[in-house]
Amino acid sequence: MRDRQHCLLLHAYPLALDPPRGQPPAARARRPEEMKLLRAMVPALSAALRAPARLVGRGRALHATAARGAGSGGLFEDATALVGNTPVVKISDKLAPPGVEVYAKCEYFNPLASVKDRLAVAIIEDAEKRGELKPGMTVVEATSGNTGIAVAMVCAQRGYDCVICMAEPFSVERRRLMRMLGAKVIVTPKAGKGTGMVRKAEELCAKNGWFLCHQFENEANWKFHEATTGPEIIADFKASGKKLTHWVTGYGTGGTFHGAGKALKASIPDLKIVLAEPEAAGLLASGVATERNADGSPKASHPAFAAHPIQGWTPDFIPKVLEDAPMAELQDELFPIPGDAAVNTAKALAAKEGLLTGISGGGTMYAALETAKKAPKGSVILAMLPDTGERYLSTPLFADIPADMNDEELSIAKSTPSFQLIPGQEPVLAA
């Protein structure tokens, strides 16, 4: 009976709770057929809300606990409605030390598999509401990849042309994904670093009258995380009866740290927030501010920047979104991440937990596991996993992962007589 109540709740309650954009909840709920269904559900609603269930609506959703096959996934109007409400999964004792609990919030459950889906929806919807982005316009942005993929997704759904500026070193599979989504990708020279791709996007915007997302400066970025990511975490741990003691994140734009961090600290004042950055590019650790133009964009590359393998983290400047965060209130610890530790932890998550995340996710989890080693017994630690490992096939994360069979695999292949594909030999189809 409970599964049935959950199923009814998941499909009917959102009709009132999450109206289409542009319509108030009251107007959406006044449809007679929906009100009739909701009235019929009142007894089940009361009971179901006392049990774990998923309330659809960004920032207040829990992942469904209904049995598989119960159809609790919901029906959605478009791909952008799938953004948010990402799951939290516990890390086993194969990686987590005893006496503490370590969890991961898997942002690769967003529709285009990264936390940047939130940013893209936030910035484009905000620009539409303000009248800055109008039908027929072109959207342009500078990105290491995930933001570009997310922006291309939203543009495809909304009908905007999309141009992405991306520095040469970032993984080529990201370029292909953006082009698959209809975007035009402008590759900028490696020597120009992140500031080079930003300047290129600004030039194109100025020349053509395009809409520039300004992900590194746009307040809509962090405000969306304050309204969604943070409340999701609060709701999930509250429903579980667990008190979150530590939250670990890195930064690309700083939106997750700034926005979700504000929401979390407001709800859990004694929460410890650990902010990670690459050891090789300790921009925050340096204490040196980024020189800025009048619009907040970087004027030059930060003197403390050095190349690092954690793609998506820490461009060669401190983002304005991060700089504007109340650091003294939010950041309890700054954690430097060695590049090899980020790569190795991402590999360990895949091999031991079945969680396929990118190098930045490996870096965040490394900081979380190191924090867990020194945390008091009973601590509950959450790490953000920003994206999927599939974005990194051409990077050091997969450098030692072969496509061809190794000796052990060849031995297994030869252990039965048929369908053998052995290098240097004719294929064997049947014994």
Burial code (b: 16+ CB inside 10 Å, e: under 16) for 219-230 equals bbbbbbbbbbbb
Q: Pick from 247, 335, 231: which is nearest to 284 by CA?
A: 335
| Phi, psi (deg, nearest 5) at residue 212 | -100, 125
Name which of 255-269, 275-289, 298-312 the model is least confident about.
Answer: 298-312
The region, left, alpha or beta by phi > 0 then psi within -120 to 50, assigned to residue 311 is beta
Residue 364: the pLDDT is 98
Give the bridge partners for 139, in sequence order.
162, 211
pLDDT confidence of 357, banded at 50, 70, 90? very high
Determine the 3-state secondary structure of 89 from DSSP.
strand
Portion of the chain with pLDDT greater than 90, in percent: 77
Q: CA 174, 387, 258, 193 torsion: positive or negative?
A: negative
If one compares 422 and 65, the residue with the highest pLDDT of the two is 422
Cβ atoms of residues 87 and 106 within 8 Å:
yes
Q: How confident is the model at residue 17 (pLDDT cuts 50, 70, 90)?
A: very low
Residue 324 burial (CB < 10 Å; 0-12/13-18/19+)?
Answer: middle
DSSP H/E element including 430: none
Q: If we measure between CA atoms, which residue out of 346, 424, 130, 378 comes closest to residue 244?
A: 378
Q: What is the largest CA-CA distance in the chain?
A: 74
Put simply, whether the predicted model's pTM sits higher than 0.85 gets the answer no
pLDDT digits (tens, 9 = 90+) for 178-225: 999 999 999 999 999 989 999 999 999 999 999 999 999 999 999 999
β-strands 101-106, 88-90 pairing? antiparallel
The confidence score (pLDDT) of residue 430 equals: 84
Do the two domains 106-112+241-398 and 116-212 of this chain adopt the same fold?
yes
Q: How confident is the model at residue 312 (pLDDT cuts 50, 70, 90)?
A: confident
pLDDT in tens, 67-79: 778 776 789 999 9
Two structure tokens written together for 431: 């014994």
Please, which pLDDT band fits residue 9 given cuts at 50, 70 and 90?
very low
The two counts, helices (H) then strands (E), for the chain are 18, 10
pLDDT at residue 368 tops 60: yes
Question: What are the distances in angstroms from CA 396 to CA 342, 364, 384?
Answer: 11, 17, 21
* Residue 153 pLDDT level (bands cut at 50, 70, 90): very high
Query: Residue 28 has what pLDDT?
Result: 39
Residue 233: what pLDDT?
A: 99
Average pLDDT of the chain is 88
What residues are labeled active site? 116, 360
Closest CA to 45 of 75, 71, 13, 73: 13
Architecture in CATH of 106-112+241-398: 3-Layer(aba) Sandwich (3.40)
Q: What is the mean pLDDT of residues 150-157?
A: 98
Task: Place 23 in a pLDDT band, splitting at 50, 70 and 90.
Answer: very low
Q: Which residues of 377-391 are buried (b: 16+ CB within 10 A; e: fewer)?
A: eebbbbbbbbbbbeb
Check residue 22 and give its pLDDT. Answer: 40
Which residue reads 């700054």 in tokens? 334
Burial class from Cβ neighbours inside 10 Å (0-12, 13-18, 19+) for residue 332 reads middle
* H helix intervals, 192-310: 193-208, 219-227, 229-240, 255, 261-267, 283-286
Class of domain 116-212: alpha beta
Q: How many CB atoms lie within 10 A of CB 329?
A: 13
Domain ranges of the chain: 2-75, 106-112+241-398, 116-212, 404-431
Mean pLDDT, rounded, for 313-317: 91
